[in-house]
Amino acid sequence: MTTPSSTTPSQPDSGIVLYDTMHRQKVPFVPTTPGHVGMYLCGPTVYSDAHLGHAKKEVAFDVIRRAFMHFGYAVRYVANITDVGHLQDDSDDGEDKIAKRAALERLEPMEVADKYFWSFMNDMAALNVLRPSINPRATGHITEQIALIEELIERGHAYESEGSVYFDVRSWPEYGKLSGRKIDDQEEGTREAVRGDKRDARDFALWKKAEGGHIMRWPSPWGEGFPGWHIECSAMSLKYLGEGFDIHGGGLDLEFPHHEAEIAQAEAAGHAFARYWMHNNMLTIGGEKMSKSKGNFTTIEDVLKRHDPMVVRFLLVSSHYRSITEFSDAAFEAAKNGYRRLSETLHEIERRLGDAPDGEDAALDRKIEAHVRAFEDAMRDDFNTPKAVAALFGLSGDLNTALAAGTVGRASLERARDAFRNLGEGVLGLFAGGGTAQQDDSQVVSTLMELVLKARQNYRLNKQYAESDELRDTLTAVGVTVEDTKDGPRWRR
């Protein structure tokens, strides 16, 4: 497998710009530590199988991570796992999502968390998403969350009430700066009924008292309970990336209240927080956001039963991370055809390398260089994957023209192959699965096809045209095209 770091330049690229949600515009990226990028991504709440909307987020930030690596940066990529505290209605009321699933499946909550954590990881592996540098779990960082809550109480930004602890929103005037919402515009009761243990309905839970039947509970200075949903990300991102880390990412639906709360918690406690905020847009079905709460979701596992994982990934990278991606049969059909075109070109390049003559084609090399430059320019500009994919199609078209015209020198074919592998695989994460066994299978297929083409040539030389045509038609039926060129017959998938 090609990794982005295998082709990084000696010095990190300084020309990257990204869209910062906080400033609502593209801004130059300047890392806290030269040559290093610290990224934090809000990961899944592991109470059920992940759906295709989760795949969009994970693939989007995987590509961003890979791009930084390609441009020479060392990346620490932290993605949390929420295994406690995320309540059913995303506020401070209702059942814990994992506890509810545990009761439904008659399992321990940690069994549920582990079951769906590994399901999620298997889905990500199938989609060729790189594993995070660190995958911290909320339940493994209770001590850090309690310590952060104590800092907020000490500074006058949180209060204890009947065994629970809440963040005092009115004590922090900057609350709302990420989403652009003013505190006074957030009317009481818009998200929930006013709770008797809160000073203000807009205050959010940092620690929740565990009622009698609540299984997941830990001791704290305020009694037995469990952390609120928002506090884990502030505590864990600061622990593993440090103050003023570079990038915090997540879905657009997390901008408010989750990310807004993260910022308030960290900064009110006196800690510099994320310097850039990046959000991916949604995946829709019939114009509606795909979500578990709406019941209009399709799990990644089910999608992968019907589609090649690389076709799914190609569909996701074909739209910009800040754009909406529409899920439909037509979209998958277009993605399948587009990915096949690129894969066929790469396959033909690697097949031709087996007997390519020494030498190079200067004109073709210039075209390859131009497409590589276009790809990299697109990725520097807020990770514009649609333009990057277009550059790969341009490269594919020029290569196909050159291959159809005759023999191409080995050096030029190697440059073309490296461009496909380093950019298409290394950055976009496509063309995965080229392990040793599959390479061996490819060699076997190529050898068998050479024998088939020789047999077809013998039929033609002996004027057995019916047999020759039958052989060609059989190959066409299984997706193999035979082309007669001045250099002899060629085949492609």
Taking the C-alpha atoms of 411, 361, 394 and 60 in order, what is their torsion angle to the nearest 10 degrees? Answer: 20
pTM for the model stands at 0.84
d(CA 2, CA 298): 30
Query: Helix axis angle, 109-126 relative to 52-70, nearest 10°?
Result: 60
CA 101 distance to own-chain centroid: 26
- According to the annotation, is 56 in a ligand binding site? no
In 3D space, the residue among 14, 65, 16, 15 whose CA is nearest the CA of residue 38 turns out to be 65
CB 32 within 8 A of CB 275: yes
Residues 14 and 73: beta-carbon distance below 8 Å: no
- Is 271 labeled as ligand-binding? no
Give the span between the Cα atoms of 253 and 315, in whole angstroms. Answer: 21
CB atoms within 10 A of CB 158: 27
CA 211 – CA 294 distance, rounded (Å): 29
Q: Is 258 annotated as a binding residue?
A: yes
Residue 264 near residue 175, CB atoms below 8 Å: yes
3 state SS of 343: helix
Q: Whose CA is closest to 210, among 108, 89, 90, 85? A: 85
Instruction: For residue 42, say whether it is annotated as part of any ligand binding site.
Output: yes
Q: d(Cα 235, Cα 138) in Å, to the nearest integer?
A: 9
- The per-residue DSSP string of 347-377 comes to HHHHHHGGGPPS---HHHHHHHHHHHHHHHH
* Ranges of H-type helices in 185-308: 231-241, 260-268, 300-306
Fold of the domain built from segment(s) 17-280: Rossmann fold (3.40.50)
Q: Is 259 annotated as a binding residue?
A: no
Taking only the tens of pLDDT, the chain with its 493 residues reads 565 643 344 478 889 999 999 999 999 999 999 999 999 999 999 988 999 999 999 999 999 999 999 999 999 999 999 987 555 444 555 566 666 766 667 667 788 889 999 999 999 999 999 999 999 999 999 999 999 999 999 999 999 999 999 999 999 999 999 999 988 776 543 334 455 789 999 999 999 999 887 788 999 999 999 999 899 999 999 999 999 999 999 999 999 999 999 999 999 999 999 999 999 999 998 778 777 666 677 899 999 999 999 999 999 999 999 999 998 999 999 999 999 999 999 999 999 998 899 999 999 999 999 999 999 999 999 999 999 999 999 999 999 999 999 889 999 999 999 999 999 999 999 998 643 334 445 556 667 777 788 888 888 888 888 888 888 888 887 778 887 766 677 777 6
For residue 450, give the 3-state DSSP assignment: helix
All structural domains of the chain with their residue ranges: 17-280, 314-425, 439-492
Angle separating helix axes 329-352 and 436-461, nearest 10 degrees: 80
